[in-house]
Amino acid sequence: MIKPSSLLKPYVIAFWDYENLFAGDNVALSILPDTATYLCFLYADLLTTAHKQQTFTTRSGLAGFQSFRSDLGGLGNVSGVSARLTPWGLNVFCRGIVGDCAERRVDCRDIFPKYSIEKIEDNLALKKNAEERVQCVEQFLLSILNRSHEDLLIQTACQELNLSNGTDSITQLAQKLGLSKRTLERRFQLHIGTTPKKYARIVRLRNALFQRQTLSSWADVAYVTGYYDQSHLINDFQELYGLSPDTLYPQIETSKTIQFSGLLNLANVTQ
């Protein structure tokens, strides 16, 4: 993981560089929904992403807001640099596309000028190390950064939902921000690509996943994280992750990448 420069820090959580993503035991990688969006620049072979009932094959691509697990695959050498963006980060790099990119993976050539993406891919292939490759992507993002496209009130809304671990009332949140609920939902959709209610649901389930590290049962987790009961929690796991908590959690415990990249190896999971 490589931290972004100070100018990008409000919009980029981290970069990570990978060479041959599916080498070794990494044969069944998935990304769990966690409110971040992912901008990926690949310089070798194509990546396949299965999300819900859709399958996307791209080189450099963008994964917008996702409310369900994405399963990754590819033939050959999938190598590149990915930027994990803050929930509101995408809009400052390309305004007005968050809704079109939600729940899918979009080819970067359909978002940015084709020549600029091809230039990045060519340059990445020539770089000698991770730091040089990340710097190449950073320079591109800085060249298209437009802070006038951000909505500070929606950033605050996201931060409030994160602090409450997704348990805030959307009506009360709107009142706190001096907005009507309808205005909050409209602006949230415009800048995040989803509703505040669905955003909060993703935050709460992710919190529940990590709370299990300190609690002895899923019933305790459900109580602490604000679920009506354990069945409600299990239903959310099945609907958003496609797996039961008991099936998924052992993989979380052993993962070294889930906290910063969202990547999880599900090679040993029986679905």
Q: What is the pLDDT along the chain (271 residues), one digit of tens a residue?
A: 899 999 999 999 999 999 999 887 777 889 998 899 999 999 999 999 998 889 999 999 999 999 999 999 988 899 999 999 999 999 999 999 999 999 999 999 999 999 999 999 999 999 999 999 999 999 999 999 999 999 999 999 999 999 999 999 999 999 999 999 999 999 999 999 999 999 999 999 999 998 998 999 999 999 999 999 999 999 999 999 999 999 988 888 777 777 766 788 887 775 5
Inter-residue contact 137 to 81 (CB < 8 Å): yes
> What strands lie across the sheet with 61-63, from one edge to the other?
12-18, 80-85, 37-42, 61-63, 105-107
Domain 152-243 has CATH 3.40.50.1980: no
What whole-number distance in Å separates Cα of residue 13 and Cα of residue 83? 7
C-alpha torsion sign, points 30, 33, 36, 38: positive
Helix-then-strand count for the chain, H and E: 12, 10
pTM for this entry: 0.93
So where are the chain's domains? 12-146, 152-243
Rounded CA Rg of the chain: 19
Q: Copy the structure tokens of residue 52.
A: 């819900």
Domain 12-146 has CATH 3.30.450: no
